């Protein structure tokens, strides 16, 4: 018979390496939150704290221009994170790792098509409305009906 799966909490309580990894991940997550809150808002979606050693930190960003801007703020970043660590941070390393694009092709606004049934529903809904921007938008959307061969 197969053994019942163990809960992750039970596994890492008995394995010192797993316990150490869990604590380290929690620490990095906490420091990343502190980093994100201390940086200007424009950086929040473009950088993440990747690693921390005794005297240096590594931040990943998705674009080179953000890497340059982060390097200008190295002293501020190091002092901010040092306040939450036992030893001061002296060095900031920024690495650019572009995010991979999703495999699915993005739909451009002008390529949106609706079925004939949906187009009929949109037109009938618009017919029941008073003139205005919503009625115009529904009619415009109804005109994007997929072309079918006759």
- In the chain the domains, ranked by start, together with CATH numbers, are 10-96 (3.30.300.180), 109-142 (no CATH)
Residue 105, pLDDT > 80, answer: no
Residue 99, pLDDT > 80, answer: no
pLDDT band at 50 (very low <50, low <70, confident <90, very high): very high
Residue 84, pLDDT > 80, answer: yes
Average pLDDT over residues 78-95: 93
Residue 14, pLDDT > 80, answer: no
pLDDT band at 88 (very low <50, low <70, confident <90, very high): very high
Residue 103, pLDDT > 60, answer: no
Residue 135, pLDDT > 60, answer: yes
pTM: 0.59
Most confident of 19-23, 76-80, 107-111, 112-116: 76-80
User: In the predicted model, what is the mean pLDDT of the chain?
Assistant: 83
Taking the C-alpha atoms of residue 29 and residue 131, their distance in angstroms, rounded to an integer, is 52
Average pLDDT over residues 103-115: 58
Residue 28 confidence (pLDDT): 93
Residue 17, pLDDT > 80, answer: yes
Return the structure tokens found at 10: 């039970």
Residue 107 confidence (pLDDT): 47
């Amino acid at each position: 018979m197969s053994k019942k799966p163990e809960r992750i909490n039970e596994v890492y309580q008995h394995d010192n390496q797993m316990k150490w990894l869990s604590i380290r991940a929690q620490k990095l997550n906490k420091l990343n939150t502190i980093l994100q809150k201390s940086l200007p808002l424009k950086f929040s979606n473009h950088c993440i704290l990747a690693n921390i050693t005794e005297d240096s930190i590594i931040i990943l960003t998705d674009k080179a221009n953000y890497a340059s801007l982060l390097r200008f703020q190295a002293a501020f970043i190091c002092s901010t994170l040092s306040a939450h660590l036992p030893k001061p941070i002296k060095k900031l390393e920024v690495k650019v790792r572009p995010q991979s694009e999703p495999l699915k092709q993005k739909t451009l606004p002008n390529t949106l098509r609706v079925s004939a049934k949906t187009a009929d529903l949109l037109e009938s809904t618009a017919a029941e409305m008073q003139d205005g921007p919503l009625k115009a938008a529904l009619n415009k959307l109804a005109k994007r009906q997929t072309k079918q061969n006759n």
